[in-house]
Every structure is written in structure tokens, then in C-alpha cells.
Amino acid sequence: MIPAHVKYLIIGAGIHGLSTAYHLASALKAKGRGGGEDVLVVDKGGIASGASGIACGVIRNNYYQPAMRELMAECVELWESDAEAFHYHAIGYMQISPESMRADVAQIAAEQQAIGYDSELIEGAEACRKYMRAIFADWRAEGITSILHEKRGGYANNRASLYGLAQKAEGAGVRILSGTEVLGLVSGGNSDAITAVETDKGRISVDQVIAAAGPWVPSIWRMLELPERIDVKDTKGDVHADVPMWVYWCLQEGTLGVEPGFGMADDGNMPPVIHVDTDVPLRSDVDGRTLVEDLWGIYYKPDFNFGGIQGGAAPYLVKTPAESVAVDPYGPDSPEFTVDDRFAETWCSALAFCQKRYEGQIGKWRKEPSGGIGAFTADSFPVFDRFRDNCYVIADSNHGYKMIAVGKLVAEEILVAPSALLQPFRFSRFAEGKLHPVSNSPFPWS
Ligand SMILES: Cc1cc2nc3c(=O)[nH]c(=O)nc-3n(C[C@H](O)[C@H](O)[C@H](O)COP(=O)(O)OP(=O)(O)OC[C@H]3O[C@@H](n4cnc5c(N)ncnc54)[C@H](O)[C@@H]3O)c2cc1C
């Protein structure tokens, strides 16, 4: 049975919906203003059925944009606060880069020092090689002149962490309703506010809505009658007219089905998550032909959850306009957006480029559908904002499995006051020209 009314209705049982639910319930109780019984999460699938449930699970601070870094530091702290419940592995993270990214990385390192985020910067080709060979004797990636080694961060097990979060939310009295799809948002009366949510199980009247719909966020955007195309003022003051508010990128990930122990550091411990970008051409580990000429990048980690060496490479832009993209069936079930043999060859060759142990291992590539799409905003950074008076939209622009603290900050914004950490992510930045700086990374999320 669906309730006739709820104070706070959250759309989506992914990382953001569940984190918001848990923190909202806890804060309501702490303030003597109610509790989890005032919070309902609805999901058209169930817990972890969206992007959060297929995420690689990497948690890092390494961002070129100061606002992203400050927010990520808050998120890492929350992951660390209950590593067991969140299935979080604090193994650290390494950004390993070519000369064209060195200045950006050095700047990030300096700014991490300024906010007290523990990391080490290694510069120069020889120093980088020596540093990596102290971890893996078979390290051989070329074209590397800087390493940012973040001592915090690492990764978490995607589905297990969401169940941990859901358990906390339910423990605080939150109800999570699976198999319930929001079809429309109802308004009326004297204001623009949303008065009810129309679901496939019936109508629920609401005081507030929090939309955390991940890759489906453009459909909620449409229900809110927000613009599909916007004018974007850049940091120089030039206005770019009629830019699509949403585009999809397809994330390419997969698993090499060796024993995870195969990827351990030489001391027998889990190595940090490795992210390598380089401009040295990538040659096939199968037949030596050139696969990529320009700047390319990969990330990987031994992962007992995925049962192998898991990781990915730069995503590709989905050229179909967002409103025509088939988001469902999602992830591995999609007939359109999973990785192919070409990706397998490229990624496995990239692993072999980095470490000799991966040479000739492509036969162990796990041939199963993997990867998935993410909805990116007009500048590829999140929008965390309130619309129509009482509808809070959490649109992380696919940055966000790691962003577990966003729900906590959103709960504070809803109950107490605006958050300085979320302020740089308002929708108004597009009109005001308050965009985030852009890095030289080949990834749209760095
Ligand atoms: C392959 C892949 C790998 C990734 N790896 C990483 C990573 O390593 N680290 C990282 O930080 N980020 C990663 N990301 C990005 C990250 O997964 C997403 O940014 C994040 O999970 C989004 O969380 P969310 O809660 O907003 O959405 P989701 O987890 O997608 O949850 C949204 C939920 O809303 C539900 N929903 C949607 N519409 C409706 C509706 N109308 N009615 C009811 N329910 C609805 C869906 O069923 C879904 O369960 C990855 C993304 C992909 C695709």
C-alpha cells in the first residue's frame, strides 16, 4: 500500500537517494521534528538498480576544480566514518600523468595540502618510475612525469555499500518502496510548488520532493518543466546559446578474469587504485598495431567483488539527443550501451602497457555485458539545487558514487540552511558565468 501523504518523498534508491533518506531521518529525529516515518524512498526498480549498483566504486579526491575537491574531501570522510557498513576499502588512489597534465596535477597537490588532504606528489620521469617500481617491480608505463598519490580514498563494493546505506536508512525508520515508478509531478493552488507525485501505484501528496534519479534525471527535469536547452555564459563572459542541458556519455568498464591476487602489490597488499593517462601511442597487445595515437587513460584495481582486475577507460559521447536515448533497459541489460571486443583489446593492451604481468592475458577477459550510461549536464559538473519551491534535484553529472556526503548536505540544506559546499553547483551558474575550471585530462569528469 502506498501512503496518501508523506512529508519527504525521495525518487531513487541509489547512493544519493539513500544517503539523503538516512541523513534526513537522522536530522529530523535529532531536531525533534519527526523522523524516518516522514521519509519515503520510491524506486521504479529497487535498491542499487541504477548507476550506483554498477559503479566501479572508485573514491578519490583528485579533481582539478577546487569546489569538487572540497566536496570530495567531505565525502571521503563519510566513507571513512563507517568503512564496514559501507564496504569501503581505504587503499588510496594514484593519478599517474604525462607532461601535459603535470601543472594541473601539481596544482591539485598543492591545494590538497592547503585543505589538509593527505597526498604526495612525485615529479620527473625517473622519480615516477622509481616510485612505481617500489610498488610493482613490473611497472613499465611510458610518458609519465607526475604522480599524485592520494593516501586516502580507494574504492567500495557498489551493491553492498548501497545495502549498508539502505539498512541505516531503514534502521532510522525510512520506508523504501521498490517497483514504484514516478510518472508525473502535480502542482496546483497559488504557487509553483509540487503538491503530489503521480506514481504507477497511485498519487502521493507531498510536502517536499527530492529527485535523485541518476541517469533518468532528464525525465524528472521534463516533469518539472525545466529547459531542455540553455544559454551558458563561460568564464570569459561569452554566451553560448541553446546548449543541450543534458547529454549522455557511455562509460566503458570491464573485468579481466584473473585471480584478484594477480594484481597485488609486491608486498602482498592491495595496491592503490591506479589511474594512468599518457600520450604515448597505445599498441595492441595482440598484434602490435596502433590502437590509440592521442592522449588516453585507464583505471584499474584488483577487486574481489568483481572477481578480477576491474576498471575502465575514457567514456564516449552518445550522439543521440538526450530525450531520444533509451536509458532502459539500463546497464548490462542494455542492448546498446555495453562494451565490445574493441574495448576489451584496448583496455587489456593498456594494462599490459602499464605492467608486464598483464601481457598476453587478454584471453582471460570476462566476456559479459558491462558499462553503462550517465547523464551529464551542460558543463559536465553536478547540479544540486531546489526548483519549483519544494523540489530538490540531485543531478551529479555522473561524478557521484563517491559523493556519499551529498545526501547529508542536501538534508542540511532542506532542514537548516544552504551549504557552502553545494553552493558552487547551483543551476544559476550557467547564466551567471560561474563555471568550474576545466582540466587537461582526457576524461570529462576530472
Ligand atoms: C559504469 C559506471 C561506472 C561508474 N563508476 C563510478 C566510480 O567508480 N566512482 C564514482 O564516483 N562514480 C561512478 N559512476 C557514476 C555513479 O555511478 C553515478 O554518478 C551515481 O551512482 C548516481 O547516483 P544516483 O543515486 O544519482 O543514481 P542511481 O544510482 O542511478 O539511482 C537512481 C535510481 O532512481 C530510480 N529512478 C529513476 N527514475 C525513476 C522514476 N521515474 N521513478 C522511480 N524511480 C526512478 C532508478 O531506478 C535508480 O535506482 C559510474 C557510472 C557508471 C555508469
H-assigned helices in 336-403: 341-354
Question: What confidence tens digit (pLDDT) does each residue in 124-143 have?
Answer: 999 999 999 999 999 999 99
Q: What are phi and psi of 133, to 5 degrees?
A: -70, -20
Pocket-testing residue among 401, 402, 443, ligand 1, by greatest number of atoms within 8 A of Cβ: 401
Query: Which triple of cell numbers denotes residue 188?
Result: 496546483
Task: Give the pLDDT of residue 253.
Answer: 95
Task: Write the CATH number of the domain with boundaries 93-151+247-376.
Answer: 3.30.9.10
Burial label for 181, CB within 10 Å (0-12, 13-18, 19+), is middle
3-state secondary structure of 17: helix
Q: Which atom of ligand 1 is nearest to the CA of 396?
A: 19
3-state secondary structure of 41: strand
Task: Give the pLDDT of residue 52.
Answer: 98
Give, using CA atoms, the residue closest to atom 22 of ligand 1.
214
String of DSSP letters for 255-271? EE-S-GGGG--TTSSPP
Of 151, 96, 157, the C-alpha closest to 127 is 96
Measure 350 CA to ligand 1 centroid, in angstroms: 27
> Where, residue-wise, is CATH 3.50.50.60 in the chain?
1-90+153-235+380-446
> Where, residue-wise, is CATH 3.30.9.10 in the chain?
93-151+247-376
- Give the C-alpha separation, 9 to 12, whole Å: 10
Conformational region of residue 316, where left means phi above 0, alpha means psi within -120 to 50, and beta covers everything else: beta
Question: Ligand 1: does its nearest atom lie under 6 Å from the Cβ of 401?
Answer: yes
Task: Give the pLDDT of residue 439.
Answer: 80
Measure 438 CA to ligand 1 centroid, in angstroms: 24
Q: Which atom of ligand 1 is nearest to the CA of 180?
A: 43
Measure 166 CA to ligand 1 centroid, in angstroms: 15
Measure 50 CA to ligand 1 centroid, in angstroms: 5
3-state secondary structure of 203: strand
CA 9 to each of CA 180, 200, 203, 291: distance values in angstroms, whole numbers, following the listed order: 12, 15, 12, 48
Which string of b and e fits 125-134 if b means at least 16 CB within 10 Å? Answer: eeebbebbee
Pairing of β 175-177 and β 391-395:
unpaired
Give, using CA atoms, the residue closest to atom 26 of ligand 1.
214
- Give the C-alpha separation, 27 to 5, whole Å: 20
Specify whether the CB–CB gap between 141 and 135 falls below 8 A. no
Measure 282 CA to ligand 1 centroid, in angstroms: 31
Measure 124 CA to ligand 1 centroid, in angstroms: 38
Q: Which atom of ligand 1 is nearest to the CA of 47?
A: 49
Interacting residues of 221 by C-beta distance below 8 A, sequence separation 6+: 228, 245, 246, 393, 395
Task: Give the pLDDT of residue 190.
Answer: 84
Measure 402 CA to ligand 1 centroid, in angstroms: 11
Which string of b and e fits 196-233 if b means at least 16 CB within 10 Å? Answer: bbebeeebbebebbbbbbbbbbbbbbebbebeeebebb
Question: Ligand 1: does its nearest atom lie under 6 Å from the Cβ of 49?
Answer: yes
Question: Ligand 1: does its nearest atom lie under 6 Å from the Cβ of 162?
Answer: no
Q: Which residues of the chain have pLDDT under 70?
A: none
Q: What are phi and psi of 3, to 5 degrees?
A: -75, 155
Of 104, 107, 109, 100, the C-alpha closest to 145 is 100
Q: What are phi and psi of 238, to 5 degrees?
A: -75, 135
| Whole-angstrom Cα Rg for the chain | 22
Question: Ligand 1: does its nearest atom lie under 6 Å from the Cβ of 153?
Answer: no
- State the angle between helix axes of 15-30 and 158-171 in degrees (0 to 180), rounded to the nearest 10: 20
Specify whether the CB–CB gap between 312 and 252 falls below 8 A. yes
- Give the C-alpha separation, 266 to 130, whole Å: 14
Task: Give the pLDDT of residue 428.
Answer: 98
CATH tag for 1-90+153-235+380-446 (out of 3.50.50.60, 3.40.1370.10, 2.70.210.12, 3.20.20.80): 3.50.50.60
Question: Ligand 1: does its nearest atom lie under 6 Å from the Cβ of 254?
Answer: no
Query: Which triple of cell numbers denotes residue 73?
Result: 574531501
